[in-house]
Structure 1
């Protein structure tokens, strides 16, 4: 009866080592692929472009929903332009 257990233990020990080595290798591969993909995405300009477009769209929506704010910005812009052109004519 003890011989049966000894054989299983020896068999299991070698098999367990092989299985562990196999799965550690698989985990290592997956980790490498994930890290390389994160690095690639980090270098990509797409995220930056999406953020810029998101900000532009939010600004447009805010201006569309608040026409008073749009008029205020336009009047400030006109005043700034007028003051700049006055400075140019004075110099």
Structure 2
């Protein structure tokens, strides 16, 4: 075995464990933040609003591109 690796093991004894614990805690915090942010976004009404506006826009574009369908659409509304 190379002496370089043995020295590193001896040199970082307690320090390595402290660093490992520190980074494990930091990673745990970041995972917690990410989960809470995903949960918050899941409860947000923004996604629902965007979907509704997307549907409205698609309907308007479809009606604009097909004037025949527009006439049918207005005719159906007038008879209701």
Shorter-chain TM-score above 0.5: yes
1:54-80 CA distance string (max 9 Å, x none): 11011011101110111122223334x
Q: Which residue of 2 aligns with 1:62?
A: 62
Cα distance between partner residues in 2 of 1:78 and 1:30: 57
Query: How big is the alpha-carbon RMSD for the aligned residues of Structure 1 and Structure 2?
Result: 1.9
Q: Which residue of 1 aligns with 2:31?
A: 31
Q: Does 1:50 align with 2:50?
A: yes
Q: Which residues in structure 2 correspond to 1:6-21 (within 5 Å)? A: 8-21=8-21
Q: TM-score, normalised by structure 2?
A: 0.80
**Higher RCO structure (Cα 8 Å, ≥6 apart):** 2
Aligned length: 76
Higher Cα Rg: structure 1 or 2?
A: 1
